């Protein structure tokens, strides 16, 4: 038996949209500690890692570990029917092959979504020692990504001294965005050395869908190594993305 009550359906809607941006289907793992999901996008360039502790829920019950396989596009369509004032209830009975999604507000609406038997792929977190950890306002990073998209399909993210720099160049021109502490948008920066790496903008844009969940994001990266991007959830827990770099010689 699994049942979870989320106090704000909009937050769960944003969580599903943040997953849906990268992943078509996946498996929530629910146990006595909370809900987790770890999945890679179809091209296996990016990975999402979701961790929501039971303390984030208004009510949480899970009598045994449950694997809840879903199509996220279908889930997203259901969540679009939620009102901003609705509570959300998720429920799966023992041995049931459906997930009940209930919106409770002025009246109660219950959707029942068939679960997918897709198995649970064992994915491990990349074992990386990051040379840079940068905490900044998500809106600043989102704007920089939009600026880079004007001229290129790829962006170089670099950090040195007290500066985070996002730059891009291509046939359409060049752009460079510097984010510093003086602006108030770079909250902290920790560097072991100056670092830089090139990443695909279409994936960075998809990952920024989680900006609706948090005003702040944390970037961790090293030269020509995968990027880690963390978004903390206001209710507790976090969404973490990993993105493989693009080699500049390619």
Tell me the per-residue pLDDT of 27-80, one tens digit each, with 9 for 90 and over: 999 999 999 999 999 999 999 999 999 999 999 999 999 999 999 999 999 999
Task: Tell me which residue range forms the domain holding 31.
Answer: 2-114
Pairing assessment for the beta strands 132-137 and 46-53 based on DSSP bridges: unpaired
Residue 8 scores a pLDDT above 80: yes
Q: What percent of the chain has pLDDT over 70?
A: 98
Residue 249 scores a pLDDT above 50: no
For the whole model, what pTM was predicted?
A: 0.93
**Of 86, 114, 142, at which residue does a domain stop?**
114
Question: Which pLDDT score, from 0 to 100, does residue 245 have?
Answer: 96
Verify that 110 and 136 share a domain, yes or no: no
Verify that 210 and 237 share a domain, yes or no: yes
Question: Which pLDDT score, from 0 to 100, does residue 248 have?
Answer: 64
pLDDT confidence band for 7 (50 / 70 / 90): confident
**Of 79, 114, 149, at which residue does a domain stop?**
114
Question: Which pLDDT score, from 0 to 100, does residue 2 have?
Answer: 96
Question: Which pLDDT score, from 0 to 100, does residue 119 have?
Answer: 72
Residue 94 scores a pLDDT above 90: no
Q: Which positions ≥6 away from 22 have C-beta within 8 Å?
A: 39, 41, 46, 48, 203, 206, 207, 241
- Residue 249 has which token pair? 């010689």
Verify that 53 and 83 share a domain, yes or no: yes
Percent helix, strand, coil in the chain, to 5, is 20, 45, 35
Identify the CATH number of the domain in which residue 144 sits.
3.70.10.10
Q: Can you tell me the distance from the alpha carbon of 113 to that of 49, in angstroms, rounded to the nearest whole number?
A: 23
Verify that 219 and 150 share a domain, yes or no: yes
Alpha-carbon radius of gyration of the chain: 19
Question: Any idea which residue has 């699994």 for tokens?
Answer: 2
pLDDT confidence band for 85 (50 / 70 / 90): confident
Residue 236 scores a pLDDT above 60: yes
Q: Can you tell me the distance from the alpha carbon of 106 to that of 190, in angstroms, rounded to the nearest whole number?
A: 48
- Residue 119 has which token pair? 């198995």
Q: Which positions ≥6 away from 119 have C-beta within 8 Å?
A: 27, 69
Mean pLDDT of 78-107: 93
Residue 250 scores a pLDDT above 50: no
Looking at the 3D structure of the chain, how many domains does it have? 2
Verify that 18 and 94 share a domain, yes or no: yes
- Residue 127, domain member (yes or no): no
Q: Can you tell me the distance from the alpha carbon of 120 to that of 27, in angstroms, rounded to the nearest whole number?
A: 6
**Mean pLDDT for the chain?**
94
Residue 188 scores a pLDDT above 60: yes
Verify that 87 and 141 share a domain, yes or no: no
| 116-174 pLDDT tens trace | 988 767 788 888 999 999 999 999 999 999 999 999 999 999 999 999 999 999 999 99
């Amino acid at each position: 038996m699994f049942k979870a009550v989320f106090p704000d359906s909009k937050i769960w809607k944003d969580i599903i949209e943040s997953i849906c941006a990268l992943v078509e289907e996946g498996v929530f793992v629910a146990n006595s500690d909370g809900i987790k999901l770890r999945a890679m996008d179809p091209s296996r360039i990016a990975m999402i890692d979701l961790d929501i502790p039971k303390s984030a829920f208004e009510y949480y019950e899970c009598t045994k570990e449950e694997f809840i396989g879903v199509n996220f596009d279908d889930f997203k369509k259901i969540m679009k029917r939620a009102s901003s004032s609705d509570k959300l209830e998720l429920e799966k009975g023992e041995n049931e092959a459906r997930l009940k999604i209930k919106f409770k507000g002025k009246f109660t609406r219950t959707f029942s979504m068939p679960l997918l038997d897709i198995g649970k792929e064992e994915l491990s977190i990349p074992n990386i020692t990051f040379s840079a950890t940068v905490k900044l306002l998500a809106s600043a990073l989102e704007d920089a990504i939009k600026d880079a998209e004007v001229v290129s399909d790829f962006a170089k993210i670099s950090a040195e001294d007290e500066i985070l720099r996002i730059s891009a160049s291509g046939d359409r021109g060049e752009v460079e965005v510097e984010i510093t502490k003086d602006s108030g948008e770079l909250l902290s920066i920790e560097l072991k050395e100056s670092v830089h790496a090139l990443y695909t903008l279409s994936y960075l844009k998809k990952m920024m869908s989680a900006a609706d969940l948090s005003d702040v994001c944390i970037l961790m990266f090293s030269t020509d190594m995968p990027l880690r991007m963390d978004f903390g959830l206001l209710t507790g827990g976090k969404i973490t993305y990993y993105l493989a770099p693009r080699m500049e010689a390619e």
